[in-house]
Amino acid sequence: YSVADWTKAPNSYIFTGKDKTGNNVDGLYIPVKKAFAMWQKDKYIGGTNIPGGTLTADVL
């Protein structure tokens, strides 16, 4: 998956259990590059340092 500007990458994904060619897949792989790009470039939160510490994520 290649995106020139990660701030324009999708912010949601739908898992169907199949890839684009119809083959079964074992899960959903979501790149986290968008989160870092938004933190650095977004007009609302951009320009601040990314907090240190352990990175975590939640699935809702």
What tens digit of pLDDT does each residue of 4-43 get? Answer: 888 888 878 777 788 888 888 887 777 778 888 888 887 8
In a domain, 60, yes or no: no
In a domain, 59, yes or no: no
Please tell me the pTM assigned to this model: 0.50
**Number of domains forming the structure of the chain:** 1
Query: How far apart are the C-alpha atoms of 13 and 23, rounded to whole Å?
Result: 18
Residue linked to tokens 């994520």: 57
Query: How far apart are the C-alpha atoms of 55 and 37, rounded to whole Å?
Result: 15
The residue segments making up the domain with residue 32 are 1-53
pLDDT at 3: 63
11 CB contacts (<8 Å, ≥6 apart)? 34
In a domain, 46, yes or no: yes
In a domain, 48, yes or no: yes
